[in-house]
Chain A
Amino acid sequence: MSGTGLTYHVYDVNHMTPAEIYGQVLTQLGEGREDIVALTADLARSTKIGKFGERFPGRFFNVGIAEQNMFGIAAGLALAGFTPFVSTFAVFAALRAAEQVRTDICYQNLNCKIIATHSGISFGQAGSTHHCTEDLAVMRSFANLTVIAPADGYETANAVRACLDRQGPVYIRIGRGFEQTVHPGEDYGFELGRAVTMRDGADLTVIACGPCVLHAVEAAKTLADSQGAGVRVLNMHTIKPLDREAVLAAAAETRRIITVENHSIIGGLGSAVAEVIAESGLPCRLVRLGIPDVFAIVGYTDDLYNLYKIDAAGIGEAAAQLLGVQVQAEDDWEDEL
């Protein structure tokens, strides 16, 4: 699995949120690695990084409500030879402190790991000041930065471990609360930059990240049962570097792609996939599901998933429509693959 050799479970995925699992895994990693330090900005409890702080108070820094300062301090610790893990809400990591992340951390290619919680619309009732549907767009544009959106708690554990093996800055975005599990366990072959094929199919591909992976799998099952459609589902946990091969194969083999994300349709997973398809010249229909170009309304997260059509029902609806669209039968591009 990962070079840390820590593959045994230290958490209970059925009763823990991805953030709680993160806190636990980080604490476990801290046992063997004196270079790991952790920082937060008055969100030790909310982001669960406080777990590490309880175990290693000497290597834990709560800087108060001062995110820009926090990322600067993290950069300094990295320059001093440490491996900082930094946690706050996604909106404050990716937007409030965007320039510190870009210039202090990414520009200097520092070994700093950002684990951002409450991403997307997972904090639905808090409103737009706390939603973050722009982080993938912003973070994806920072050179040197690896960007990951794990699908569930197991994948969060895998991503947190894997990011330690990857020299350089990493951004991992997780949600606020309990998200259902989509993977059967930790050992499904997680690899940074490699999409996980959750289901195979030849009629259409749904490329999803984060909690939308589960919804995509459910939608695919329903479509298979109700209309015998072969829907491939790719869990694109790594947004950057994107698994171009998986996208190209899906474009060539299924010619219909739907992207689904808990993020604006501008700049995130959908845009990344669109770039690959457009540059390939492959004839492929693409539908991007996500938050349209609006500030999402206030509401229960499940309701918002439904409203913005990024739940199983919304994906199913978009897929049924796209399956009805004729795609070009020309096969002369096939040898380009």
Chain B
Amino acid sequence: MGLTDSQVATLKLKAQQIRRKTIETVVWAGGGHLGGALSQVEIMVLLYYHFLNIDPKRPDWADRDRVVLSKGHGGIGYAPLLADRGYFSEGLLEEFNHTGSPFGMHLDRLKVPGVDASTGSLGHGLPMAVGMALGARLKGAAWRTYCILGDGECNEGSVWEAAMAAAHFRLDTLTALIDRNGLCIDGTTEAIMALEPLADKWRAFGWEVTAVDGHDFRELAGAIEAARRSTGRPTAIIARTVKGKGVDFMEDQAAWHYGGLDSERAALALQSIDRRSDTAGPGRRAP
């Protein structure tokens, strides 16, 4: 049961809006983790506007699906999405990073409605997601748990300790989405600390694994649907993406992991996003 053409069109428009809002938020914030915030957009949009069983009016609703943005530095792209989804007023984003604001670069669960876990230190999200999925089972609750990881983040040993545990406990309600943009801070993941063959690693740890174009809503949706049908095993979706996606001068540039934007640059970034209404073009080739 794939996405219809009109669903895809709506999601693409939403992705474009979130990218725009992310650029604006970075300007208000005085800087931000642009590269990773832009590469994760289709993953986050598809979850929040298509799959998740949530109620933004009741962020603490006990049976909601859980989302852990383990690559917590993506917070500057996550907050605009939560605002758009109605968790809080969009105007608050103008305070991002300001003294006393609820929003810092890494979102705080106790301050930002809709955030299920405070993250920002890499390698912490998947263990917490394993705990949430175990909790659902203990309670006999139906919620599903989604964890979004950076690919560089997969260098952390704790990711693999959690991966082992999730398979051991047969957590089939847990889905890990790996934003495989091929870059960390200091360079490409393969030059800094090679991850490949990444799919084989997850498979060897006992997970169902699919690799898809992380900017293609249809491919992503197919993988998530398969994950929801899977029994007895957690699923890892390796989403091949482009860091800085949608802003031509940022794409695939390690230097844009973190950056600031003066008004001129911000305008160029917005133009680039507008020009490419079809931002959901192909993701990166497998490294």
Q: Assess whether B152 is in contact with A64, with CB atoms less than 8 Å apart.
A: yes
Across the interface, name the chain A residue whose C-beta is closest to B118.
A129
Proximity bits, A102-131, B CB within 8 Å = 1, else 0? 000000000000000000000011111110
Across the interface, name the chain B residue whose C-beta is closest to A306.
B99
In whole Å, how far is A126's beta carbon from the nearest beta carbon of chain B? 5
In whole Å, how far is A23's beta carbon from the nearest beta carbon of chain B? 14
- A43 at interface, CB cutoff 8 A: yes
- A12 at interface, CB cutoff 8 A: no
Q: Assess whether A130 is in contact with B120, with CB atoms less than 8 Å apart.
A: yes
Q: State which residues 287-306 of A face B: CB under 8 Å.
A: 297-300, 303-304
Q: Assess whether B106 is in contact with A50, with CB atoms less than 8 Å apart.
A: no
The interface residues of chain B lying within 8 Å CB-to-CB of A127 are 104-108, 120
The answer to whether residues A43 and B121 also contact, given A298-B97, A298-B103 and a CB cut-off of 8 A, is no
In whole Å, how far is B242's beta carbon from the nearest beta carbon of chain A? 19
**In whole angstroms, what is the CA distance A139 to B152 when docked?**
28
Quick check: which of B1-9, B164-172, B184-192 contacts chain A, the rest being far away? B184-192
- B35 at interface, CB cutoff 8 A: no
The interface residues of chain A lying within 8 Å CB-to-CB of B119 are 129
Across the interface, name the chain A residue whose C-beta is closest to B108.
A127
Q: State which residues 144-181 of B face A: CB under 8 Å.
A: 152-153, 155-157
Q: Assess whether B120 is in contact with A63, with CB atoms less than 8 Å apart.
A: no
The answer to whether residues A128 and B157 also contact, given A65-B122, A96-B121, A299-B98 and a CB cut-off of 8 A, is no
**In whole angstroms, what is the CA distance A307 to B193 when docked?**
41
- A154 at interface, CB cutoff 8 A: no
In whole Å, how far is B197's beta carbon from the nearest beta carbon of chain A? 16
Q: Assess whether A298 is in contact with B104, with CB atoms less than 8 Å apart.
A: yes
**In whole angstroms, what is the CA distance A42 to B184 when docked?**
7
Q: Assess whether B105 is in contact with A130, with CB atoms less than 8 Å apart.
A: yes
The interface residues of chain A lying within 8 Å CB-to-CB of B153 are 65
- A214 at interface, CB cutoff 8 A: no
Chain B interface helix/strand/loop/mixed: loop
**In whole angstroms, what is the CA distance A45 to B186 when docked?**
7
Q: Assess whether A65 is in contact with B156, with CB atoms less than 8 Å apart.
A: yes
Specify which of A43, A46, A69, A298 is in contact with B157 (CB 8 Å cutoff): A69
Proximity bits, A64-96, B CB within 8 Å = 1, else 0? 111011000000000000000000000110001
The interface residues of chain B lying within 8 Å CB-to-CB of A129 are 72, 106, 118-121
The interface residues of chain A lying within 8 Å CB-to-CB of B100 are 297-299, 303
The answer to whether residues A91 and B186 also contact, given A64-B152, A66-B155, A127-B108 and a CB cut-off of 8 A, is no
In whole Å, how far is A118's beta carbon from the nearest beta carbon of chain B? 12
- B29 at interface, CB cutoff 8 A: yes
- A2 at interface, CB cutoff 8 A: no
**In whole angstroms, what is the CA distance A91 to B29 when docked?**
23
In whole Å, how far is B124's beta carbon from the nearest beta carbon of chain A? 8
Specify which of B72, B98, B157, B189 is in contact with A66 (CB 8 Å cutoff): B157
In whole Å, how far is A40's beta carbon from the nearest beta carbon of chain B? 8
In whole Å, how far is A116's beta carbon from the nearest beta carbon of chain B? 14
The interface residues of chain B lying within 8 Å CB-to-CB of A96 are 121
Q: State which residues 24-61 of A face B: CB under 8 Å.
A: 40-46, 50
Q: Assess whether A92 is in contact with B121, with CB atoms less than 8 Å apart.
A: yes
- B123 at interface, CB cutoff 8 A: yes
- A62 at interface, CB cutoff 8 A: yes
Q: Assess whether A297 is in contact with B99, with CB atoms less than 8 Å apart.
A: yes
**In whole angstroms, what is the CA distance A40 to B187 when docked?**
13
Q: Assess whether B99 is in contact with A298, with CB atoms less than 8 Å apart.
A: yes
**In whole angstroms, what is the CA distance A46 to B192 when docked?**
15
- B101 at interface, CB cutoff 8 A: yes
Specify which of B29, B72, B184 is in contact with A65 (CB 8 Å cutoff): B184
Across the interface, name the chain B residue whose C-beta is closest to A304.
B99
**In whole angstroms, what is the CA distance A128 to B109 when docked?**
12
The answer to whether residues A66 and B156 also contact, given A43-B185, A44-B186, A297-B100 and a CB cut-off of 8 A, is yes
Across the interface, name the chain A residue whose C-beta is closest to B31.
A125
The interface residues of chain A lying within 8 Å CB-to-CB of B121 are 91-92, 96, 129-130
**In whole angstroms, what is the CA distance A320 to B60 when docked?**
47
A-B contact pairs, 26 of them (CB 8 A): A42-B155, A42-B193, A43-B185, A44-B186, A45-B186, A62-B192, A63-B155, A64-B155, A64-B192, A64-B193, A65-B153, A65-B155, A65-B193, A69-B157, A96-B121, A124-B99, A126-B104, A127-B104, A128-B108, A129-B72, A129-B106, A130-B121, A298-B104, A298-B108, A299-B98, A299-B99
List 6 additional A-B contacts (Cβ < 8 Å) besides A65-B152, A65-B156: A42-B186, A64-B184, A127-B106, A128-B118, A130-B120, A299-B99
- B interface, CB within 8 angstroms of A: 29-30, 72, 97-108, 118-123, 152-153, 155-157, 184-186, 189, 192-193
What are the 8 tightest A-B residue pairs by CB atom distance, in nearest-first order?
A: A64-B193, A129-B120, A299-B99, A127-B104, A298-B104, A64-B155, A303-B99, A65-B155
- A interface, CB within 8 angstroms of B: 40-46, 50, 62-66, 68-69, 91-92, 96, 124-130, 297-300, 303-304, 307
